[in-house]
């Protein structure tokens, strides 16, 4: 099977996987509001609320439940990503040894189980269990990225990563709209069932495509070995510095890892709370949230399809720099957006940054990864993203809870100057060496 015939199937699988993942995004405010109505009958939700009240009293801020659901959602988002952080390097390394396809199938089966639990999550405890199951098994994106590095040579991997980015954009455009559509038809205790059923059906289709239409791309899997012990797989310092791959790697890869972690840590905190910001500031419903994600997805897809995939290998660093520099004013403007017009201006900037940073940075890292450790290398890279998203949503939610959206987004915009300056310094150093 050639790349031209194989890639559409791979991208279709990725889009399906991400549609399932994104359909829940606009539903979080409604889901948590529904669970809050029956909190006396749910020990886990009651515990969360009790701890939140104790913290509010401890730091001497007014006790209010207005932002409690933001924190609860942030905790679940962080747990989901933390479990991805734990599992991604392991699964990536296993894909080097046993093949991409087998690990891909295992990951998708785990996701299917999590969606089944979501469909019948009549209380917060079962819903939490579904997110834990999903977090442990969600390695599909890192495996797809590794497969792209298998089938694309270094000089055109940026194009392959742009196609992956376009798949993300398409899913983030359509998934929330689909979730919002289902939620608008169903209210009350069954708010989870139909979006979850949609995810179950799609995941079965995804599994079918992987089983019968995706070939194995890791031809040298029998010789892939890694000497790292289990502690190195979950050691944040070992992952951020890529030491798990061995001491011979360049400092360039380590700087990219630090920049990626810091950028996503701050970015994901704001990304996660956008639905709560619009819900509280503009009264957005799930349908309004879906339209917002739809517009963002269209803009990202246009940018990635029309610009990012055409960036040559030697210019991808500048694509990262432009994207990181754009996200700084994005969150500052968003913090001051009390009209929908200003908010949508900030959303355009948000789409530009989101479309550029991760695809370009992923291509840069993929080009440096050792051939026999590509699965592990990209698993570590995705694990860094998961680690940042493990603490980013929780930190962003707590900041939102303590300070409110205006101060939280303004502070985040200022803090993003740190990864921007780190990457710019690395860019200058590489330019000097090349001169």
The stretch 403-417 carries a mean pLDDT of 94
Instruction: Give the angle 216-22-122 at the CA atoms, nearest 5°.
Output: 110
Domain-embedded: residue 314 = yes
Residue 2 lies in a domain: no
Residue 224: pLDDT above 50? no
Judge residue 149's burial from the number of C-beta atoms within 10 Å of its C-beta, 0-12 exposed, 13-18 middle, 19 or more buried: buried
Rounded mean pLDDT, 196-201: 92
Nearest to 384 by CA among 408, 361, 414: 361
Cβ-contact 299, 372 below 8 angstroms? no
In a domain, 226, yes or no: no
**For position 60, what pLDDT does the model report?**
57
| pLDDT tens digits, one per residue of 39-60 | 777 788 788 777 767 766 665 5
d(CA 316, CA 305): 15
- For the chain, percent of residues with pLDDT exceeding 90: 29
164-176 tens-digit pLDDT: 888 888 887 888 7
Q: Which domain holds residue 269?
A: 8-44+52-218+238-434
CA atoms of 390 and 159, how far apart (whole Å): 29
- Residue 16: which CATH number? 1.20.1250.20
Among 60-64, 73-77, 316-320, 363-367, top mean pLDDT goes to: 316-320
- Going by pLDDT thresholds of 50, 70 and 90, the confidence category of residue 415 is very high
Work out the average pLDDT over 172-199.
77
Query: What is the pLDDT averaged over residues 62-80?
Result: 68
Tokens representing residue 132 in the block:
């834990």
What value does the mean pLDDT of the chain take? 83
Q: Which tokens in the block code for residue 146?
A: 């590794």
Q: Distance between CA atoms of 36 and 30, rounded to whole angstroms?
A: 10
Token pair for 150: 């298998």
In this structure, is residue 207 part of a structural domain? yes
CA 294 to mean position of chain CA atoms: 17
More confident residue, 7 or 251: 7
Range with lowest mean pLDDT among 30-39, 136-145, 305-314, 361-370: 30-39
How far apart are the C-alpha atoms of 265 and 263, rounded to whole Å?
6
Contact 181, 175 (CB under 8 A): no
Judge whether 242 lies within some domain.
yes
Q: How many folded domains does the chain comprise?
A: 1
How do residues 91-124 score in pLDDT, each as one tens digit?
A: 877 888 888 899 999 999 999 999 999 998 888 8
Query: What are 420's two structure tokens?
Result: 């921007």
Query: For the residues 199-219, what does the mean pLDDT come to?
Result: 91
Instruction: Give per-residue pLDDT as tens, 266-303.
Output: 999 898 889 889 988 998 887 788 788 888 888 988 89
Lookup result for tokens 């990951």: 107
User: Do 106 and 77 touch, CB atoms closer than 8 A?
Assistant: no
Task: Please answer whether residues 96 and 221 qualify as being in contact, where contact means their C-beta atoms are separated by less than 8 angstroms.
Answer: yes
Distance CA 107, CA 101 (A): 10
Which is more confidently placed, 420 or 161? 420
95 is a domain residue: yes
Among 248, 195, 268, 144, smallest CA distance to 23 is for 195
DSSP state letters, 230-293: HHHHS-HHHHHTTGGG-TTS-HHHHHHHHHHHHHHHHHHHHHHHHHHHHHHHS---HHHHHHHH
Give the separation between CA 22 and CA 168, rounded to whole angstroms.
Answer: 10
The conformational region for residue 169 under phi > 0 = left, psi -120 to 50 = alpha, else beta, is: alpha
201 closest CA partner among 28, 31, 20: 20
Alpha-carbon distance of 86 to 368, in angstroms, equals 23
Residues in the chain: 435
Both tokens of residue 238? 């070992």
Q: In the structure, what pLDDT confidence band is assigned to residue 216 with cuts at 50, 70 and 90?
A: confident
Q: If DSSP codes are grouped into helix, strand and coil, which group holds residue 72?
A: helix
Query: Regarding predicted confidence, which is higher, 229 or 378?
Result: 378
**pLDDT score, position 222:** 47
More confident: 334 or 21? 334
Place of tokens 């520099």: 325
pLDDT of amino acid 284: 86
Of 317, 325, 392, whose CA–CA distance to 361 is shortest?
317
317-346 per-residue burial string, b: 16 or more CB within 10 A, e: under 16: bebbbebbbbbbebbbbbbebeeeeebeeb
Please state the rounded mean pLDDT for residues 137-151: 85
Q: How far apart are CA 323 and CA 357, in angstroms?
A: 5
Instruction: Please report whether residue 228 resides in a domain.
Output: no
Give the dihedral of Cα atoms 356, 358, 360, 361; nearest 10 deg.
140
Whole-prediction pTM: 0.76
**Cα separation, 329 vs 391, whole angstroms:** 22
Q: Is residue 419 very low, low, confident or very high in pLDDT (cuts 50, 70, 90)? A: very high
Q: Is residue 99 part of a domain?
A: yes
């Amino acid at each position: 099977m050639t790349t031209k015939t194989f890639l559409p199937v791979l991208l279709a699988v990725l889009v399906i996987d991400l549609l399932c993942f994104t359909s829940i995004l606009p539903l979080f405010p409604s889901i948590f509001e529904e669970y809050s109505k029956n909190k006396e009958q749910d020990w886990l939700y009651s515990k969360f609320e009790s701890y939140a009240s104790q913290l509010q009293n401890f730091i001497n801020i007014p006790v209010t439940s207005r932002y409690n659901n933001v924190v609860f959602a942030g905790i679940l988002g962080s747990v989901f990503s933390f479990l991805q952080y734990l599992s991604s390097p392991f699964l990536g390394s296993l894909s080097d040894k046993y093949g991409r396809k087998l690990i891909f199938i295992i990951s998708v089966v785990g996701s299917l189980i999590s969606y089944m639990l979501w469909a019948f999550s009549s209380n917060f405890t079962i819903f939490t269990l579904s997110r834990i199951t999903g977090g442990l098994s969600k390695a599909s994106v890192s495996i797809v990225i590794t497969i792209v590095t298998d089938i694309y040579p270094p000089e055109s991997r940026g194009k392959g990563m742009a196609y992956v980015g376009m798949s993300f954009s398409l899913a983030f455009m359509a998934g929330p709209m689909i979730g919002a559509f289902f939620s608008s038809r169903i209210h009350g205790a069954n708010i989870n069932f139909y979006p979850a059923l949609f995810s179950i059906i799609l995941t079965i289709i995804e599994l079918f495509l992987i089983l019968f239409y995706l070939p194995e791309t890791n031809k040298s899997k029998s010789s892939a070995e890694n000497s790292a012990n289990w502690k190195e797989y979950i050691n944040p310092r070992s992952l951020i510095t890529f030491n798990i791959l061995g001491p011979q790697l360049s400092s360039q890869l380590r700087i990219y890892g630090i920049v990626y972690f810091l950028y996503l840590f701050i970015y994901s905190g704001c990304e996660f709370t956008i639905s709560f910001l619009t819900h509280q500031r503009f009264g957005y419903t799930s349908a309004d949230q879906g339209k917002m994600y739809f517009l963002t997805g269209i803009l990202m897809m246009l940018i990635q399809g029309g610009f990012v995939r055409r960036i040559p290998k030697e210019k991808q660093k500048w694509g990262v720099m432009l994207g990181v520099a754009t996200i700084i004013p994005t969150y500052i403007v968003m913090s001051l957006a009390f009209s929908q017009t200003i908010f949508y201006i900030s959303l355009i900037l948000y789409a530009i940054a989101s479309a550029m940073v991760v695809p370009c940075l992923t291509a840069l890292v993929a080009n440096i990864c050792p051939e026999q450790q590509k699965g592990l290398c990209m698993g570590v890279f995705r694990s860094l993203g998961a680690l940042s998203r493990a603490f980013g949503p929780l930190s962003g939610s707590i900041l939102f809870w303590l300070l409110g959206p205006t101060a939280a987004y303004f502070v985040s915009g200022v803090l993003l100057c740190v990864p921007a300056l780190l990457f710019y310094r690395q860019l200058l150093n590489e330019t000097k060496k090349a001169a």
